[in-house]
Structure 1
Amino acid sequence: MMTYYTAASLKAELNERGWRLTPQRETILKIFQDLPKGNHLSAEDLYNLLHEKGEGISLSTIYRTLKLMARMGILRELELAEGHKHYELNQPYPHHHHHLICVRCNKTIEFKSDQVLKIGTKTSQKEGYHLLDCQLTIHAICPACQRSLLPI
């Protein structure tokens, strides 16, 4: 099952893989841990947030760190409607959620589904995989955008 990371557990896992917990990685983890529930950040959003806080972390370091943390299962990589990736902390169940996105206005609704997680867990176990993330993203058109599409 998915793990909630602390700086210490991240350091231990990175060390196990031959990597270090750099101050930049720890800062980025802290930003995601402090994000209000339901917020997602793109690499550019994170860069701007860090810049506002006086942190001099380059955009290329941010991209590398986000990719690494997503591969480790610490962050969830989300393909949202804007066409670029967003990230959020990969919270353990029962905080696990999915996304319903309007392809016209990008409004995003988070929802929970035990069934999606059960299917992901069962399929992973059956094939001998260790589940890091299980997400369903539904692309649709919201009621407001549907109304604006109606002929007058």
Structure 2
Amino acid sequence: MTYTAASLKAELNERGWRLTPQREEILRVFQNLPAGEHLSAEDLYNHLLSRNSPISLSTIYRTLKLMARMGLLRELDLAEDHKHYELNQPLKHHHHLICVSCNKTIEFKSDSVLKIGAKTAEKEGYHLLDCQLTIHGVCPTCQRSLV
């Protein structure tokens, strides 16, 4: 599902929450991110400051967690000390291969991973929001530097 401000507002209202200007602005940032770009809460905070849209870091953290629970954002663990987020786009579903040495991240597609996730969720009665595989390894460049 591609979210618009109106669809986000409807879903928030259905859950007893409201669409605040801050939530709408955060949605807009993620909708306009270039493909393959992920943001941490701190990255988002700095991006918003540079656009004269000051939103407190605590509001950003709460909004990111809320949007991830709703399935709007994907929460990613990219082998750093903090989470990254990206728009959850089911038709552009992908996974991540991460070098634990230099943090280089490669995105890749795998329909089989998604099928296994969907089948498992359905079998257990879950509504699938996201399915992601993160592989941690050492890239060829870092392997050469270790020798």
Interval containing the TM-score (normalised by the shorter chain): over 0.9
Equivalent-residue separation in structure 2 for 1:81 and 1:135 (angstroms)? 14
Work out which of the residue numbers 2, 24, 31 in structure 2 matches 1:4: 2
TM-score scaled by structure 1? 0.95
Q: 1:48-59 maps to which residues of 2 (within 5 A)?
A: 48-59=46-57
Q: 1:147 maps to which residue?
A: 144
Higher relative contact order (CA 8 A, sep 6+): 1
TM-score scaled by structure 2? 0.99
Q: Are positions 1:90 and 2:91 aligned together?
A: no
Report sequence identity in percent. 80
Work out which of the residue numbers 110, 125, 130 in structure 2 matches 1:133: 130
Quote the RMSD (CA, aligned, Å).
0.5
Work out which of the residue numbers 55, 64, 67 in structure 2 matches 1:66: 64
Equivalent-residue separation in structure 1 for 2:105 and 2:54 (angstroms)? 31
For structure 2, the 5+ residue unaligned runs are none
Q: 1:10-49 maps to which residues of 2 (within 5 A)?
A: 10-49=8-47
Deviations 1:99-140 (A, max 9, x none): 000000000000000000000111111111100000000000
Deviations 1:55-97 (A, max 9, x none): 120000000000000000000000011121000000022x000
User: Structure 1 counterpart of 2:13, which letter?
Assistant: N
Q: Are positions 1:80 and 2:92 aligned together?
A: no
